[in-house]
Structure formats: C-alpha cells, structure tokens
Amino acid sequence: MHLSAIFLASFLQGSAHAHTFIWGVFVNGVDQGTFKGIRIPAYNGAPGGGGYNNSPVKNLTSIDMRCNVMGDIQAPDTIKVAPGDNLTFDWHHDYRNLTDDIIADSHHGPSLIYLSPDPPTENSFVKIWHEGLYQEGLPAGKWSTTSNMRAKNGRMNMRIPAGLKAGKYLIRAEMIGLHEGEVSFLKNPIRGAQFYPDCVQVEVVGDGDVELPKGVSFPGAYSYEDPGVVYDVYCSKEQATRTYKCTTTYPIPGPTVWSGAWAETTSVPTSGIVGPTTATPWSTWIKNSVVTSATFTDKKSITVLGTSTYKAKWSATYQTPTPATKRW
C-alpha cells in the first residue's frame, strides 16, 4: 500500500492528534459521528513524545492554509444539511469529552468560519461568521478561542445560509492563536501567528436558489501586513517595555461577514456523542513534503517503515468521496 494510503487509513481509524481540530459535527443538535465528514489535519512533524505534537500552519502562502496539512485528501463521507440548519463543530485537542482542554489557555485569538463550493476555486471562500477580542482587560482581555470556545467545551456554532442553493460545499472553520503573533512569521519563523483551519464536507439539499458571492482565496486571504495577523495580545498601556504603540482594539483578519449569513449564530442543545472519544498516537507524519510511516511501542522505541514524497493535489472538479470500510 502506498504510504499516502496508509496515512489516510490511519485517519479513518481515529488516529489523529493536532493542536486543536474538529472531532465531530452536530446537525440541529444531533451528532453525526466522530470524524464524519471532517478532513482531519495531518500530524506535522516526527513524534517527539509518543506521537503527540502541535501542528499549526504558520506560512500564509502555503496550500495548507486552505484545509490544513494534507487537506486535499477527502473524508470518506459527506454530511447532508439544509438551509437554516444549525451546525455545531466540536473542537478538541486530546479527547472528545468535557475534560479536554480544547486549546491551550495561552492561545488567545479569533475564531472564523468560511463557506465555499467543493472543490474551492479562486476567491470562493465566503466568510459567514467570526469572533475576536470581545472584552478588553489585562493581561490579554477575553478572546473567542480561549474565553469562548474553550469555555464552551470546544463548541463552535453556525447556520447554513437561508435559501442556499443545493450542492456540495466545504465549510472552513478556523481558530487562530496569537500568543506568539507580536512578530511576523517571515521575520521570525520560530514565532508568528498560529492558524488552525479545518474543513468539513457538506451537501446542501433543498430547492434554494441563493448562490455564494465572490469571496477570498486560501492561501491569499491573509497577509503578513494585516494588523490582525501580526498582533501583540499582551500589549497594553501599562507595559512600558514595548517599543511600539499598543492598540486596544483587534481587527479580525479576512473580509467582512457576508450579508447573506445569519445575523445571529446561537448554540442549540446537543445529543450524546456517537463514536470514539479518544484518538490513538500517530504512526504516520509529514514534514517538508515527506510522509513517514512508523511503528512505536513507547516514546523511545520507534521503527520507521518507509517514506514517500507528498504533494497536494486539489481537483478542479468535484470528486465523489470513496466510502470507508471502517469508521471506528
């Protein structure tokens, strides 16, 4: 079996560990199943401790900005929705339960949701929701990622736009960590804003006739010149050590929210979880376009089985996902 196929197989068995990503989707409060319809982000970098590692995207020109590392690989299934449906994305870090930390409490930043036809094209991602800094204060104020998503056990809510035309779509949900964002990644690759995008495959049904307007591209929507990308979350007038002027407002990156999106995005009661609530450690990872497959019994015993090169291949036309033989 080709190593890329091995990598995909590990996804379908629930083997996934990234800093934070979507583990499940509730439609009108009903769980669709762990990892169903989700393009689970790849593990980016060799195991440093039993197969667990953080893997944000930091290069704004990378194709990984679209749906994260290896985001061109389809999930084996698609979630059916209708205009007006409430979707709840269940973000987690280590476990899909109420004890999971969701995202580190230092990773202050905005949360955003985009919608695009599947497959994406140039300028096809339309922003339908965002939330950033919503209360000022020291040391960092209250942010969507840490004071809202984290406090709500990783639940991020959206609604399918009213009257949306039937068809296949990708929902690109995202959290951004600005804890090291006081400097551009271009100037200091060790730091820079951390992006955690994740894509969900949906099929909109019904007789709607509303088409999405022109949007933005990923990569391309964000720039290192954007004040919402290079931003010091700990900057304040009380901190005299800064050599630059502090700001007390935060401009959320990307375009404005589409006027066709719902004005209110409220949470709904959710059902119990369907499927596994834990993920096994990684045995496959990608670094510098090289996919490595390995086995390990503990943090010190790792056996590399082989490597292969990988290059993202986004199709220009819709490809029907290949059903999985086993979800969990």
Please report the pLDDT score of residue 13 as a whole number: 40
**Matching residue, tokens 């290896």:** 70
Q: Which of 212, 220, 195, 201 is nearest to 122 (CA)?
A: 220
Sorting pLDDT into bands at 50, 70 and 90, what band is 304? confident
Sorting pLDDT into bands at 50, 70 and 90, what band is 236? low
Please report the pLDDT score of residue 265 as a whole number: 87
Alpha-carbon span 328 to 207, nearest angstrom: 34
- Asked if residue 9 has pLDDT above 50, the reply is no
**φ, ψ of residue 3 in degrees (nearest 5):** -65, -30
Structure tokens at 12: 């379908």
Q: What is the DSSP letter of 65?
A: H
Please report the pLDDT score of residue 324 as a whole number: 75
- Asked if residue 237 has pLDDT above 80, the reply is no
- Could you tell me how many residues make up the chain? 328
Q: Which domains does the chain have, with CATH numbers?
A: 19-282 (2.70.50.70)
Structure tokens at 143: 């942010």
- Asked if residue 238 has pLDDT above 80, the reply is no
What Å distances lie between residue 9 and 22, 95, 139, 314, CA to CA?
Answer: 18, 20, 43, 19
Per-residue pLDDT reduced to its tens digit, 63-117: 999 999 889 999 999 999 999 999 999 999 888 999 999 999 999 999 999 999 9
Please report the pLDDT score of residue 1 as a whole number: 37
**φ, ψ of residue 203 in degrees (nearest 5):** -120, 120
CA of residue 288 relative to chain centroid, distance: 20
Q: Identify which has the larger pLDDT, 136 or 6.
A: 136
Per-residue pLDDT reduced to its tens digit, 11-63: 334 344 458 999 999 999 999 999 999 998 887 776 655 554 557 899 999 99
User: What phi-psi label fits residue 109: left (phi over 0), alpha (psi between -120 and 50 degrees) or beta?
Assistant: left
Per-residue pLDDT reduced to its tens digit, 168-191: 999 999 999 999 999 999 999 999
- Asked if residue 292 has pLDDT above 90, the reply is no
**What is the rounded average pLDDT for all residues in the chain?**
87
